[in-house]
Structure 1
Amino acid sequence: MSSPECFVVVTGGPGAGKTTLVERLAAAGYAWSPEAGRGVITDQLTIGGRGLPWADRALFAELMLGWDLRSHRQAHIRPSPVIFDRALPDVVGYLRLSGLPVPEHVDAAARRFRYRRRVLIAPFWPEIYRHDGERKQSLAEAERTCEHMVAAYTDYGYELVHLPRTPVDDRVRFVLDELR
């Protein structure tokens, strides 16, 4: 059974290489938890739902919260460590970025359900940022998103470790060194 100190979070702004890094670690055999935002967007598009960041930001945040709570719970039964592509404090960062209030239950979730103290931040990296069917933010919003994630994790008492802007194989080595 995994403990929160084995829950490694990779966060930051969109298009900074987080998912590529997490998927590479998963391919190397590490347990992982996919990003809530992309999962929610895929599900909502499939069913014609309105819980999308460009349709209903508050509903989108609630759906991400539910996804992240379930991911946290499931991580307890996975082998250690578990790599998270974003986590509960990201919901807080998203709400702040959107200019929406952070409901008490979202704050309570971010305070109660913890991860490893050292969180990996993928810095804003405009040279690799690309739009796709789920990532529609401008470069400016991507940069602001990273700033809000840094602030949210700091506010919840996490220590931030900035990932280098290097090729994914170098980032994998960096993460593996961090895990040791």
Structure 2
Amino acid sequence: MAPRQSKTAKRSAGQNKTRTVDSEVTSDSLARNLLSDKPKLTPKSTKRTLSKEKVKKQQAKLRLYGAKNGKEYNEKQLDIPTLNKAIIPGVKVKSGKKGKKFVDDKDSLTLNLLVKSINDKYDQVNESKLEKSRRLEEIRELRRKEMDRKEEAKKSKLEDKKNEIRSKASVARSNRRKNAKSRQDDEEASEEPKKKKKSVSFA
């Protein structure tokens, strides 16, 4: 009886039967180049190879500046102050659109002034001197009214602040009086039992 064959031996015997031989022409690039009539047997690499000089330059840059993380910021994004400009501590510079004014819907005075001043350049195309003077007078009047209103608003704000300070002062004064009165009462209460003490004398 023949000896029993192991599984690994069987597997290796089976594998040996299915061996294939690949030609060097398809696998080796040098062999491919030797065939002049068949130049494109293996696909050419799409990756671009850098020259030795460029590689050296890149390595020098990496040594000097370090590797980039992919993000690049400009001066505006970094908020770098411009040269020869004094930086005032505690003052925040406003950024964004300038000259933007928001007017209330009920504020007719400011709206009229805006309309008159906007239409100013279109109206002066063909108008007489009398019309022009009248229009300018209207604009001046509106400006005067606006200035008066601003002054009134300032005065009212000041008065409100004064009243607030006065009320605070009166509250503080009344508190001081109450504290003083309570202190006086405490002192009087502590003095009374001392007076009432009787002295006993022995004969």
Structure (1/2) with the larger helix percentage: 2
Structure (1/2) with the larger strand percentage: 1
The two structures have a TM-score, normalised by structure 2, of 0.16
The two structures have a TM-score, normalised by structure 1, of 0.18
Which fold has the larger relative contact order, with Cα–Cα distance below 8 Å and residues 6 or more apart in sequence?
Answer: 1
